[in-house]
Amino acid sequence: MSKAELAKAADFFSGSNRRGRLSDSDRADQAEAMNQGMTVLAYLLSGVAVYGFFGWLGDHLLHAHFLLPTGIVLGAAGAIYMIIRRFGNLGGTTQVTPTQPTDKSREGR
């Protein structure tokens, strides 16, 4: 590959514009995406580590052999639940919740 082809491929994969630089909005979008990715990774690792530790502690103290895997699975499930709760509505869809419940028995009066 020539240097021009390598530079063109590098521009394509880095998401940069023709001058080889990212615009301010692209840079901000990349930073936001990196922050969200690191938060997701931190949730997953900490959930597995904390609940895995509690499972190991329970195994050690109670001489059971099922609490460590149970803790790891529950930690991963809890982390995924928290990730969905925090980042689940990023697609732009909004959930409409009524401010006052409607009473269908009074509608006909």
Domain with 61 in it: 34-87
Confirm whether 103 is domain-assigned.
no
Per-residue pLDDT tens digits for 6-42: 776 766 666 555 555 778 888 888 888 899 999 999 9
Enter the pTM of the model. Answer: 0.60
Confirm whether 51 is domain-assigned.
yes
Asked whether the beta carbons of 55 and 71 are under 8 A apart, the reply is: yes
Structurally, the chain folds into a number of domains equal to 1
Confirm whether 61 is domain-assigned.
yes
Confirm whether 83 is domain-assigned.
yes
Cα–Cα distance for residue pair 35/42, rounded to 1 Å: 10
Rg of the chain, C-alpha, whole Å? 24
